[in-house]
Amino acid sequence: MQLFPCPFCGPRSESEFHFGGDAGNHRPEGFRTVTDGEWTAYLYERNNPRGAANEIWMHMTCGEIFRMERDTVHHRVAQSFALGEGDGHDGMAY
């Protein structure tokens, strides 16, 4: 069980969090003009990186969604950020 840094609550047990997918998977806008390919990429194509990952998580106990940078190889968390704050919050480093 790991500790994840919620930008609002600090380090908390991973069991309190819900995975929200890749960060930067922006929703293609304009349903009349979005191509099948763009929509398919948004719905189904995932990064699944080995190493540094940039992800969206929800902290279920406070309800806030945030971005977290962690490593899929050794599970170390680099930083987490509140959405829309750029680099507003220093995540915990281990």
Burial class from Cβ neighbours inside 10 Å (0-12, 13-18, 19+) for residue 57 reads buried
Check residue 34 for interaction with other proteins (CB under 8 A): yes
CB of 6 to other proteins, least distance (A): 13
> Cα(14)–Cα(7) distance, rounded to whole angstroms?
14
In single-letter form, the type of residue at position 1 comes to M
The site string for other proteins over 13-32 (x = CB under 8 A, - otherwise) reads x----x-x------xxx-x-
Q: Which residues are near other proteins by CB under 8 A?
A: 1-3, 13, 18, 20, 27-29, 31, 34, 36, 39, 42-43, 58, 60, 63-65, 74-75, 83, 94
